Structure 1
Amino acid sequence: MNRANAIVVFDIDGVIRDVGGSYRRALADTVEHFTNGCYRPSPQEIDALKSEGLWNNDWEASQELVYRYFEAQDTPRSAIALDYQELVAFFQSRYRGADPEHWTGYICQEPLLLEAQYFDGLTKAGIGWGFFSGATRASATYVLQKRLGLQNLVLVAMEDAPGKPDPTGLLQTIHQLDAQSPSIPVLYIGDTIADIYTVNNAAAMQTDRRWIGVGVLPPHIYAAKDQKDAYAEMLYGAGAIAVLDTVQALTPDKIAQLVTGE
């Protein structure tokens, strides 16, 4: 493979940063708050919701779990007085912190899953790269620019495109990377079924390009081998060509292997 003829697009949450103690913690806090302290979803329950492939947006996922809790108590959704903007504000107060200008929330504690040198390696190998994430632009740039120090990057965030699995944002990323030639294969790496569905949907729209969905195991799943195996099978079942333990396993050599099928 000519490595100059490959593009890698990265999801961010669960791929570039560990959000188990931030986004997912804020999600659980939010559901607990809006169910009056009666229900706090476990990591497994959050995974089960996201395995449906529709809940990439954690604000919407929080709302859905609140609705499902009350429905289980025989209360129809139409009778639930849930203000979505109030829910979002509460979520953000946990994730970013109470001060929108000076963040002190869970986002400040997110472990990074790679270092900036990883991207230097891709660039040196002639591999183009960018980001398509359901995170807000502010949250995404916080980790990519402030913490990793990446500059002049290509990023399509929540505000820029419909949510996954709609492939619009992925296609926009490719356009910004100036990779319009259909001969250039695209790899999209993410940690959820919605990410893999997004690649599938892009492939259905642009049949003249090679699209490769790569799954990566999110850190919260590492603890138990049976959970790792089940999560990997879920991603394979959604259409992933490969499932990696960490994003850094997606080396230039691995990219060449996936593109050539060797």
Structure 2
Amino acid sequence: MRIDVVSLFPEFVAQCAAFGVVGRAVERGLLSIHGTNPRDFAEGNYRRVDDRPFGGGPGMVMLIEPLRRALDAARRAGEGPSRVVYMSPQGRRLDQAGVRRLAAEPRLIVLCGRYEGVDERLIRAEVDEEVSIGDYVLSGGELPAAVLVDAIARLQDGVLNDTESAQQDSFEDGLLDCPHYTRPVEHDLGRVPDVLLSGDHARIARWRRMQSLGRTAARRPDLLDGRELSKADRELLQAYREEAAATAAGAGGTATAGPETG
């Protein structure tokens, strides 16, 4: 997969892409990331890429032409059609389903805004979709672009050493992930749940599913809104709540994360 990032600071995303999962994807030839700077397509001695907004107000707005030329150059640099994504707080909030959809594209061009944003006419004419990583404002689109690239990279076939790892991540099936533990078994911060030491894979799978359901209900109930749970899942969620209530009663407090023993 090829991703072109159109940004005033393309080296920022390139540096983020040099490490970890994304770096491994690039090294293995599974993902290629290229930067295009709109300033290289600006005119005049100052290579101006922004101007004051019509109607007044603070800040500056990115100009149409440097961005348009940068997008055209990015399109010409690769083969085949490309989907243009603008990282914007006004876009659709990114979720795992959206990541999977974008990861299936052969090519992406990610447009990063700065200042007060991009001239709306360019967005209407050149952008296929706007994407947000959350309801807050950042200085530019480079950090969101790096987040998007990382999320997409781990879904490319052959990137993760364990192919099941991505399938078990939070949000892959619409639920939060279950808790995880490693050595040592005994620690002054607590003991690993007995169920994970049992070697009973069916029991472990049941416990993990129960934890995912319970954590989602406790921490992100919105993810369950409108979701039709199977009878088995409803029973697991009820079991989680009963164990959480028993744990809270035994501790003399209120449990919010659920039991971690089994």
* TM-score when normalising by structure 1: 0.29
Query: Highest Rg: 1 or 2?
Result: 2
Q: Which has the higher contact order (CA 8 A, sep 6+)?
A: 1
* TM-score when normalising by structure 2: 0.29
